Amino acid sequence: MLAGDDAVHSGAFEADAEILSSPVFGVGLPADAERHLREAALSYHLGDVAEAHLFEARRSAPSHVAVLIGLYRFYFYKGRLEEALGIARSCLTRAAIDNSFPMDWRAVQRGDAEFGSFDAVLPRFFMFVLKGYAYLQMRLGEYEEGREALVKLLDLDPTDRIGAGVLLSVLDRMGEEDVD
């Protein structure tokens, strides 16, 4: 398992406020789903109540990015990592569809989008999702799957603007500790 609070916040959907407030992600969100997302945020401290609101938001907009992000963050910050991973997989599917990428993240190629441009919101979201997916795999002990996702991310983002290299170095250091 990864150590330290910094590692916890280094992975999962650390998409800045700009990407999450982007009009691209708000388009088509039904008012009912938006209301339930707001209620979930207000009742976060009441886990069951917040989760019920998130389920209602998902019922209204099952594959909407804003709803998926809300669910992901809820599960992640509540420490329910298996459930967060399930949502991360749904987000990978949504990001693949929205970007016209292959459904398997392993088949996505550098030329499929402008991954180096931070103005390209949808490809950037895909990269943040893949980073979160890799991080969760690592937290759940699936180190090779996590490594494979990070290597793919570095292939798509060779300048490492998303920060996959930090997580990869954590994996590498973990291997060194096992040798000692």
- Ranges of each domain in the chain: 5-28+64-175
Residues in Cβ contact with 163 at an 8 Å cutoff, skipping those fewer than 6 apart: 10, 14, 131
Residue 58: DSSP 8-state? H
SS3 helix, strand, coil % of the chain, rounded to 5?
Answer: 70, 0, 30
- Per-residue pLDDT at 29: 86
Average pLDDT over residues 81-99: 96
| Cα separations in angstroms, 135 against 33, 41, 131, 132, 180 | 28, 24, 6, 5, 24
- Per-residue pLDDT at 177: 57
Which of 139, 121, 129 has the alpha carbon at shortest distance from 93?
129
CA diameter of the chain: 56
Average pLDDT, the chain: 85
CB 170 within 8 Å of CB 151: no
Residue 1 pLDDT grade (very low, low, confident, very high; cuts 50, 70, 90): very low
Residue 24 pLDDT grade (very low, low, confident, very high; cuts 50, 70, 90): low
Average pLDDT over residues 18-40: 74
